[in-house]
Amino acid sequence: MTTMFVDNTVDNMAAILLENILLAMEDECFSKDLSAKIVGGEGKLEKLIKSGSIRFEKPTNKQNGKWFCKASDVLRHCARRRRNRKKKVFKK
């Protein structure tokens, strides 16, 4: 029974820390390129923007104007990444 309590505490702590990170990033913005890299591609970013999941701002109404995406929204929808494992190099 104590292991259940410890695991539950760790899960709650992780959720609390994640929520704190998202609250801290609420006022920050990422560029379009960085946001696309985090969510898993430009196409996915545009889908999330159209659905209203990611808020963005484009201050100038020009074709090449910068996009500013809300960092907390982008981090909520980040893609799962795998660690790059170093490959063994065999010498001949």
Using CA atoms, how far apart are residues 66 and 21, in angstroms rounded to an integer?
25
* pTM exceeds 0.85 for this model: no
> Which of 77, 56, 54 lies closest to 68, judged by CA?
56
What residue type is 46 in one-letter code? E
Distance from CA of residue 71 to its chain's centroid? 8
Cα–Cα distance list, 9 to 20, 21, 22, 60, 87 (Å): 16, 18, 20, 47, 37
Q: Any idea where the domains of the chain sit in the sequence?
A: 2-76
Question: pLDDT 10s per residue in the chain (92 long)?
Answer: 444 445 566 668 888 998 999 999 999 999 999 999 999 999 999 999 999 999 999 888 888 888 899 999 999 999 887 777 777 777 76
